Structure 1
Amino acid sequence: MASVGLLFVGAVLFINGVMLLGWVDAKSAAPMNFFVGGLQIITPTYLIFTANGDTDVILAASGLYLFSFTYLYVALNLTLNLDGTGLGYFCLFVFISALVFSWLNFTRFADPGFGVIWLYWAFLWLLFFLLLGLKQEQLGRYTGAVCAIQGWVTGWLPALLLLTGAYDALTGTLAVVLAVFGVVVFGALFPLLGRRRSGGAVAASDPAVPA
């Protein structure tokens, strides 16, 4: 069940990313955030209630609420035109939590693939904290590109591997490939999209972040 939810996490990350890139109108992205936010409440709740006291299952499922509350927060911001500062500081909380879940996957769960994937998500939530909480608007397009790419490599790809039963045999390889890919691609994109434009102003064409 969690694998199905992960597939749609990929979808909403992609939609939110292209929204920040200015390819999708902000309010038109709200429904997908509501859909996936709701799904990511149902999924961990079901897993916890059917865990029969298995602390590892409960621990793993608890991390899914970080996603659901983020997406619902984004959806409400877009729908009600709220200021994004509160969401930004919530993303700081999630960033720190994601680092802990990454460490748990490397150690307690012996799952290096999701250890690296949680590091990806921690990086993304850190970018949202900088963008929304600290108002670093020059990071808008870079954050959008990172978010859209992560939709495919941290949601769609591992979900399909899990759903087809291929993930366990590939988790080590996936960890190495994603680690190299993230450093190279996100590092290369930053000089192109992540720096303030000449004159210190953000271009008028830059998309508005949820605010």
Structure 2
Amino acid sequence: MGSVGLLFVGAVLFINGVMLLGWVDARSAAPMNFFVGGLQIITPTYLIFTAGGDPNVILAASGLYLFSFTYLYVALNITLGLDSSGLGYFCLFVFLSALVFSWLNFTRFADPGFGVIWLHWAFLWLLFFVLLGLKQDRIGRYTGAVCAIQGWVTAWLPALLLLTGGYQQFAGTVAVALAVFGVVVYGGLYVVLGRGSDAAPVAPAGDRSVPA
């Protein structure tokens, strides 16, 4: 069930990313954030209630709420035209939590693939803290590009591997490939996009309220 949710995380990351790039109107992205935010509440709640008290299942499921509340916060910010600072500082909280979940995947769960994936997500949430919380609009397009790319490489691809039963076979390869990919691609994108002062306008009222 969690794999299905991960597949749609890929969709909302991509939509939010291209919205920050100015390819999609912000209000048209709000429904997807509501849909996936709601799904990511239902999924971990189901997993926790059916875990039979297994602490590892409960611990793994708890991380999904970080996504659900982020997407719902995004959707409400867009719909209500709220200032982005509250969402930005929530992203700081999630960034630090994502680092913990990365460490847990490397150690407690012995899953290096998702250990690296959680590092990717931590980096993205950090970017949104800088963009929305600290109001550094110059990284708006860079953040959008990273977000859109992560939708495919950290959610869509792992979800398909999990759903088709191929993840365990390639978990080590996924970890190494994504680690190298992150350094090379995000570094290259920063050279191209991260130093610019232009950022895609985001409705309503130019508020950059759309993170991962």
Q: How would you bin the TM-score normalised by the shorter chain?
A: over 0.9
- Taking structure 2 as the reference length, the TM-score comes to 0.95
Structure 2: which 5+ runs fail to align? none
Query: Could you tell me which amino acid in structure 2 is paired with residue 138 of structure 1?
Result: R
Q: Residue in 2 aligned with 1:151?
A: 151
> How far has the Cα of 1:156 moved from its partner?
0.3
> How far has the Cα of 1:100 moved from its partner?
0.2
Q: Within the alignment, does 1:15 sit opposite 2:10 as a pair? A: no
Q: Within the alignment, does 1:79 sit opposite 2:83 as a pair? A: no
Q: Residue in 1 aligned with 2:103?
A: 103
Q: Identity of paired residues, percent?
A: 82
Runs of 4+ deviating beyond 4 Å: none
User: CA–CA distance in 1 between the matches of 2:142 and 2:13?
Assistant: 14
- Taking structure 1 as the reference length, the TM-score comes to 0.96
Q: Residue in 2 aligned with 1:113?
A: 113
Q: Within the alignment, does 1:135 sit opposite 2:135 as a pair? A: yes
Contact 1:17 1:143 in 2 (8 A): yes
> How far has the Cα of 1:196 moved from its partner?
3.5
For residues 107-128 of structure 1, the C-alpha deviation after alignment (integer angstroms, 9 at most, x for no partner) is 0000000000000000000000
User: CA–CA distance in 1 between the matches of 2:209 and 2:40?
Assistant: 20
Query: Could you tell me which amino acid in structure 2 is paired with residue 8 of structure 1?
Result: F
> What secondary structure does 1:41 align onto?
helix
> How far has the Cα of 1:103 moved from its partner?
0.2
Contact 1:3 1:163 in 2 (8 A): yes
Query: Could you tell me which amino acid in structure 1 is paired with residue 107 of structure 2?
Result: T
Query: Could you tell me which amino acid in structure 1 is paired with residue 98 of structure 2?
Result: A
User: CA–CA distance in 1 between the matches of 2:113 and 2:209?
Assistant: 31
> What secondary structure does 1:8 align onto?
helix
Q: Once superposed, what is the RMSD of the aligned Cα atoms?
A: 1.1
State how many pairs are aligned. 206
> What secondary structure does 1:126 align onto?
helix
Structure 1: which 5+ runs fail to align? none
User: CA–CA distance in 2 between the matches of 1:129 and 1:23?
Assistant: 22
Contact 1:140 1:206 in 2 (8 A): no
